[in-house]
Structure 1
Amino acid sequence: MTSSPAKKTAPKKTAKKAPAAAEALVVKSDEEAWTPGELDELLGELNEQREHSAAVVAEMEAELDGLMRDSGDGAGLDQADVGATSFERDHELSVLNSERDKLAQIDRALGRIADGSYGQCESCGQPIGKLRLMAFPRATLCMPCKQREERR
């Protein structure tokens, strides 16, 4: 019996165009411009997170493929076994989708750094703030817009 190969999601390569100059990235009026060192540190962190998430996604897709292949039709299993298997599969799908979302956010942040729009709120257009971006590099909204979104 030949088994079908696990569906692999190859890590998406972001465009290798040069990132915008650190000084060109948006900052709040009371903040200093990004330094090349800060930008390198930020890029390093994002790339490290991306590698980790891509590895997690690949591993989870292989596990999920195994769960789906071995799920059978439930013959010979009692309801508790079927329920546990279903719960495990649903949990794996939820975690996998969360990791895929994180990967997409990282790719978006890297793309915004490359095109020079990193640091600008996608909702209101105001600067997000260096401190927020250093704490959460995937942020796309300034604090007021994020708080407004969370209240909805």
Structure 2
Amino acid sequence: MSWSARLAELDISLPPVVAPVAAYAPAVRTGSHVYTAGQVPMVAGSLPATGKVGAEVTAEQAQDLARTCALNALAAVHDLVGIDAVVRVVKVVGFVASAEGFTGQPGVLNGASELLGEVFAEAGVHARSAVGVAELPMGAPVEVEMIVEVA
């Protein structure tokens, strides 16, 4: 089964690629890898939530937002090489705007990782870093970037 067929089976539609807010490309290919820029959880041109996780945003909300970030990253991959070119997800890095004392960054990033597992099964198993930060662009609670191997 192709990845595009798997997305359809899961009733998941890739969103339009989020336009860069500065001087960078949403994704770049070098050799057999695609690197995405950090993707915030934009939906239809705006952030559904802003603030720090553990204060204005709950961990559960942030987990859903991380899933949205991963969808935006997949959209960037798809726009560049087509989703069916993906061989495997290699690495995911997630940044969580964290309130003081919040230490649940890995749980937040599970929103992205679980989506990748749903879509790519074993090929979605990846290495990952989950980092707490003071602030993210536009007040986003979470940002996700990934590296995928492509055919």
Q: Same fold (TM over 0.5)?
A: no
Normalized against structure 2, the TM-score is what?
A: 0.29
Q: Which has the higher helix share?
A: 1
Quick check: which has more Rg, 1 or 2?
1
